Copies of this chain bind each other. A is one copy, B any other.
């Protein structure tokens, strides 16, 4: 849905997106109706279909924006750092912290991954994230500081650990994100095969 939006229009749209994120995360995509959303915002149904051509389009826009935001965060955190192992470490921490600060979005991304309608929309974004990590892992292997194994598998495993531990310890138990990030990072370092002697540059 391509529309020329005024300031007011942009604000209204943001209002709808914001409410929808909360509603989808809390009650699920399928069980949240368009009527729920417009009622929650306090507008008529016509408003929704002025800004979005369908419920599905809204959801995909949410997914896309989320993934863009998460990657931006990760890129910002590792900017200027040269050492690939440090980049991996910072990338993991950035992922966990982003998940912690955007728990609703984490839930939606996780849901979308398992829903055939949205899996393709999420797939590309995730691939980009994995590619980023893969690059650093390959550098680490080349420098002889990470034992050679399939870099993509390692990247995927790290993402899974970050996601899962965030869900249990931060989303469900409200523990300190920094501590969880440490735990995730340490598990991943080990998983990559970085024994202590590997951690320093040769």
Pair A169/B183 contact, Cβ less than 8 Å: no
Residue in A114, A165, A188, A196 whose Cβ sees the most chain B Cβ within 10 Å: A114
Q: Count copies of this chain in the complex.
A: 2
Nearest CB on B from A179, distance (A): 10
- Complex contact B28–A116 (CB within 8 A): yes
Q: Which listed residue (B156, B184, B194) contacts A164, Cβ 8 A?
A: B156
A87 touches B (CB below 8 Å)? no
Contact string against B for A residues 112-134, beta-carbon threshold 8 Å, 1 for contact and 0 otherwise: 00111100000000000000000
In the complex, which residues of chain B have a beta carbon less than 8 angstroms from the beta carbon of A163? 160
Given contacts A114-B110, A115-B28, contact A191 B195 (CB under 8 A): no
Which residues of chain A from 140 to 169 have a CB within 8 Å of any chain B CB?
149-150, 153-154, 156-157, 159-161, 163-165, 168-169
Instruction: Report whether A159 and B150 are in contact in the complex, using a CB–CB cutoff of 8 Å.
Output: no
A-B contact pairs, 15 of them (CB 8 A): A26-B116, A30-B30, A30-B31, A110-B114, A153-B168, A160-B160, A160-B161, A161-B161, A161-B191, A186-B193, A187-B192, A188-B191, A190-B190, A190-B191, A190-B194
